[in-house]
Amino acid sequence: MPDLGKYAEAVLSSYAVSLVLLIILVALSWRRAVRIKSALREIEERQKKDG
């Protein structure tokens, strides 16, 4: 690990915040994808029943 000197706390906390935000972004994207996939499946099933 490089010597960050007096800025170590700021740099490491910035990395931590960035990592947390990336994890949140991935989780929200995954959750939305699951919801959309479910909605599309419902629409397709309704179309099969009607057609």
Q: Count the domains in the chain.
A: 1
2 found inside a domain: no
pTM of the model: 0.73
The yes-or-no verdict on residue 50 having pLDDT over 90 is no
33 found inside a domain: yes
- C-alpha closest to that of 9 among 37, 17, 43: 17
31 found inside a domain: yes
7 found inside a domain: no
Residue 4 in contact with residue 11, Cβ under 8 Å?
A: yes
What gap in Å lies between CA 32 and CA 38, rounded to an integer? 10
| The pLDDT value given to residue 2 | 74
The boundaries of the domain holding residue 35 are 24-51
10 found inside a domain: no
34 found inside a domain: yes
What tens digit of pLDDT does each residue of 4-32 get? 889 999 999 999 999 999 999 999 999 99
44 found inside a domain: yes
